[in-house]
Amino acid sequence: MPTSTPPKDPRGKWLQLTIKIIALVSVLVFFNQIGHWLADQVSFQLWPRHAKMFFPFLIGALATYVLLLSIPFLPGIEMGLMLMSVLGSPGIILVYLATVLALSFSFFFGRQVPPRIIRHALDWFHLRRARELVTALEPLGPEERFHFLVESAPSRMIPFLLRHRYLVVALLLNIPGNALIGGGGGVGLIAGMSRLFPFPRYLLLISIATIPGPLFFLLRAM
């Protein structure tokens, strides 16, 4: 006797997806608010009475900044701006170095994420084609990945972006709307997960790409 699975209700599928997206956005908003709260705590008036706690504060604030910036969707930039305003010119250089460190952390974290977890995450959001792409990319090396992506890309735009991927990452790190893809931490994470960037080149890239912001503040402070 032939058996057949009942057809899934498309409305239920969409409802499920909507609930998942709302849950994810709620979690992100919650952590974002925590980040904003932390940034507000850093933004206090610095007086001689704070002299003894200055260096512990400096180390703690920089560590928090590195953590916030390296995790996607957390407001690391706000914290960086607060730190630069509190610490003055020498702080701008320190924040720049901390930014490079944070983006390196997110890159390494992206490298370490097993493709299995990425597949599960894409599956959870019903992004089946993206899951199939990750599955196909998994056994390939960096060069093969690049060629596979260029050849299988549905539009002409993607191969162009892939060929100029270093420029794309540099632009993404500096455009204001990058919060939509998780900010600097998100860009670093995706770059790491893509396995299309050797770390020395990525380090050079972020070292140059993150200069404009601190340079602007440095010139303004002079």
Partner 1 sequence: MTSWQRFLIGILTIFLGVGGWVVTPSSAAGNHPLEGRVFVVDTGRSGEGPSGRDVYCFREGKFLSTFHNTQHDFPPGPYTGHRVGDVIHFAADAQSPTRGSIHWEGTIRGEIINAAFFWRDTPRWYSWHNGPAKYWARSAGWGPTTSSGPDIAASHLLDGQVYFVKTGEKGNPPDHSDYLIFWEGRFVSSACVELNFSPSAYSAIEKDGTIRFHAEIRSPNRGRMTWRGTVRRNNTEGTAEWHYKRLFWEVVRHYWFRGPVYSME
**Which residues make Cβ contacts (< 8 Å) with residue 64, sequence separation at least 6?**
38, 42, 79
State both tokens at 154: 């549905």
User: Judged by CB under 8 A, does residue 90 bind partner 1?
Assistant: yes
> What is the nearest approach in angstroms of partner 1 to the Cβ of residue 48?
5
What mask, x for binding partner 1 by CB under 8 A, covers residues 36 to 65?
---------xxxxx-xx-xx----------
Residue 206 and residue 173: Cα distance in Å, rounded?
A: 8
Compare residues 87 and 191 and give the one whose CB is closer to partner 1: 87
Please say which residue, 91 or 213, places its beta carbon nearer to partner 1: 91
CB of 153 to partner 1, least distance (A): 50
Structure tokens at 169: 């990452």
Nearer to partner 1, 8 or 52 (CB): 52
Distance CA 49, CA 51 (A): 6
Q: Which two tokens stand for residue 32?
A: 């974002």
Task: Return left, alpha or beta for 91; rule: phi > 0 is left, psi -120 to 50 is alpha, else beta.
Answer: alpha
- When the beta carbons of 4 and 45 are compared against partner 1, the nearer one is 45
Q: Tell me, by CB under 8 A, how many residues bind partner 1.
A: 12
Residues forming contacts to partner 1 in the complex (CB under 8 A) are 45-49, 51-52, 54-55, 87-88, 90
